[in-house]
Structure 1
Amino acid sequence: MTKAPKAAALLAWLLAGLASPAFAAAAESAPAVVELESPLWAAPPLQGLLRQPASAQPAPAVVLLHACNGNWRGLDERWGKRIASWGYVTLTVDSFGPRGIRTACGSVAVDMGTDAYRALAWLARQPSVDPARVAVVGFSLGASLALTAVERGAIERASARKFRAAAAFYPPCLAFKDNMTVPVLVLVGERDDWTLANECRNMVEGRDDYGISRHRGDGVPMRLIVYPDAWHAFDAPQLQTPVNYLGHRLQFNQAAADQASEALREFLSETIGERAGAP
């Protein structure tokens, strides 16, 4: 692969985020850009893309958190549209734009620890949302934030509102040592050389680098799905041609993307959707 096609593929991943036909299921309405807070409350205020299904009743909702490339519009097109077509309100958060950040894939440090709960607080005020049924779904860096939001700790305890579930696509699992407070679904590729599947296995099984386990039964169980032939960003259709980014391989995998979509749909149905609370 020559440098020019590689650069074009990488640019497509960072900026375009266009959906493939596999992700073409659409909600009825186009997304609306919303400001989550008044500048008097928070500096800078967050913004996001909101999608609402056609429903007369308050609906469950999903907060979507983007990866380190900051492509929130691409994430909304790829996943917000699809999840809204399942009957959920979706809010795809832009954590970078209001902060003047283009990317955090290198050594940029960004304090986004409370962004998920800022989005949850905004959703809870919307009449179209059932505030007792909100999940958070994140991707790579956003997956880390999603897990942080529901791990037992200071950030989770500080919020009056709580998430009911969390899903993490290819998260960096090494840092999570405490118990989860809600059901968690983790999806990662076996061949991922950026966020390692074995580290996620250790997290889910309660082991750390020293072989010490958390007390089993203290937290809510996590479910891990590992896709055997998949790399990092396996759900991003603009990566049909693999790229090397910061020394890591990024590549779309149709089978893994389809299976992950079904797994997420089932998980949301069981935790916040039509099957939530069913015996």
Structure 2
Amino acid sequence: MVDRRQITVGMAASLVVASDARAGDQGTKAGMESFTSGGLPIGVEWFPAGSGTGPAVLLLHGADGLTFAEGYRLAARVLASAGYHVGFVHYLDRTRDRRVVYSRIKQDYPTWMTVTRDAVSWIANHPGVDPARIGIVGVSLGAALAIDTAGADTRIKALVDYFGPVLDGVHGRVKRLPPTLILHGQMDGVVGIEHAHAFEAMLKRLGTPYEIKIYPDQGHGFIGAAQLDSAARVSAFLGRHLGAAARPG
């Protein structure tokens, strides 16, 4: 049985790099904001990086939604402390859910895609954000949405896929992608490792620059040394593709 808390907290912890993360820094405080998608308000928890204009990251949760939201908030604070504005998007607001209803997932997915695409425009126009330096980090189902979103919007300059699925039809929808980092556990019993390999093959076909790391002893969520290793990879990857981070306030 997969512990959903492990998925979110493991993802958050994997973003922590001892040299520059200050996850407990009380200066990184979230504010609740929103934008409109399909005539409905979509909540976004906004974690500012500091003063001046800088890069920004959209953070997309998995099917657990806000059930274990503190894990995602920790990840957002870590990224903000490293100098990236972060918008933690409550995309399930569009379907009025707190977590995914699995019997409706195929029906609801196109609606969530619309929300995440609208989120790109919202963050690109947010004060303090350099619209030329936007990244997207998706976790599990959120990674699938991140792939579709990045494929549809050239404003996304970097994509991080945490153990996401490659969904039916994505090959027909997505014709290009920005530089991508794939992180997946060989022992993932929720989103099998074949999804990481299928995504890698897709990136090769598209000619997309990418990096991939498969952790042989990890499942759907990273623990132990894999947290630190993936942390270093995410930090370096975002730095290379989004440029210098914003200066802390």
Shorter-chain TM range is 0.7 to 0.9
1:268 pairs, out of 235, 238, 248, with: 238
Contact 1:47–1:98 under 8 Å retained in 2: no
Q: CA deviation at 1:21?
A: 11
Letter in 2 for 1:73: A
Contact 2:15–2:230 under 8 Å retained in 1: no
Alignment partner of 1:191 is 2:187: yes
Contact 1:179–1:220 under 8 Å retained in 2: no
Q: Which residue of 2 aligns with 1:35?
A: 34
Aligned pairs for 1:77-226 within 5 A: 77-104=73-100, 106-109=102-105, 110=108, 111-151=111-151, 156=152, 159=153, 162-173=155-166, 175=168, 176-177=170-171, 178-206=174-202, 216=205, 218-226=206-214
Contact 1:69–1:105 under 8 Å retained in 2: no
Contact 1:36–1:119 under 8 Å retained in 2: yes
Greater alpha carbon shift after TM alignment, 181-190 vs 218-227: 218-227
RMSD: 3.0
SS of the residue aligned with 2:89?
Answer: strand
Letter in 2 for 1:232: H
Which structure 2 residue ranges, 5 or more long, are not aligned? 17-21
Q: CA deviation at 1:221?
A: 2.5
TM-score, normalising length from structure 1?
0.73
Letter in 1 for 2:149: A
Check 1:202–1:123 CA distance in 2 against 1; reply closer, same or farther (3 A cut): closer
Residues paired across the two proteins, number = 231
Letter in 2 for 1:195: V
- CA–CA distance in structure 1, aligned partners of residues 88 and 10 of structure 2: 14
Contact 2:28–2:77 under 8 Å retained in 1: no
Check 1:16–1:202 CA distance in 2 against 1; reply closer, same or farther (3 A cut): closer
| Runs of 4+ deviating beyond 3 Å | 12-24
Contact 1:18–1:78 under 8 Å retained in 2: no
Check 1:271–1:20 CA distance in 2 against 1; reply closer, same or farther (3 A cut): closer
Aligned-pair identity (%): 25
- Please state which structure has a larger fraction of its residues in helix: 2
Q: CA deviation at 1:25?
A: 2.0
Q: CA deviation at 1:123?
A: 1.5
- CA–CA distance in structure 2, aligned partners of residues 70 and 138 of structure 1: 12
- CA–CA distance in structure 1, aligned partners of residues 224 and 89 of structure 2: 25
Rg (Cα) greater in structure? 1
SS of the residue aligned with 2:156?
Answer: coil
Which structure 1 residue ranges, 5 or more long, are not aligned? 1-5, 207-213, 235-252
